[in-house]
Amino acid sequence: MPKQTRQEIIKTILNANIVETQEQLVDLLSQAGVEVTQATVSRDIKDMALIKVPIRAGRYRYSMPVVQPNGGEGKMERVMADALQSVEYQDKFVSLVLTPGSGPAVASILQTRTDERIFTLVPTDASILLICRSDDDARNLAGELDLIVG
């Protein structure tokens, strides 16, 4: 099986399952009819630049990277759209509720943008508190982010 096809199957598996170890990934690939060794999976993980994100109580799962190699702004927008569940604001604060495990990835996206309205942000596993420079900045930013939630 071509490497690219196998890696597409890995993406599908990661989107549908919580995969904590390479051995689990080997087993899930086998269930999908793809027989590989742990060494092959290890190379695929490196090639795909997979990351580990926290899920609970010190445990981690494999995930697609926030920005894939040679990736662009569109991929970051998709990560935001997939992760963002709700947006609320009050005074200078904007609260983002996210899918579990996506807090660090979304925080990384927000930190790479140079948005002067954001003073700082405080991420957790499934939420982010944005502290803006003014009440107006918080209202405007919340409005923009709320459009992503749809």
Domain range summary for the chain, segments of one domain joined by +: 3-63, 73-149
Mean pLDDT, all residues of the chain = 86
pLDDT band at 75 (very low <50, low <70, confident <90, very high): low
Higher-scoring residue by pLDDT: 146, 89: 89
User: What is the model's pTM?
Assistant: 0.52
Which whole number is the average pLDDT over 72-94? 82
Domain at 73-149: CATH code: 3.30.1360.40
Containing 26, the helix (H) or strand (E) segment is: helix 22-31
Is the pLDDT at 76 greater than 90? The verdict is no
* Amino acid letter, 55: I
CA angle 65, 68, 71 (to 5 degrees): 145
Fold of 3-63: Arc Repressor Mutant, subunit A (1.10.10)
In this prediction, residue 66 has a pLDDT band, given cuts at 50, 70 and 90, of: low
- What is the rounded average pLDDT of the residues 11-34? 93
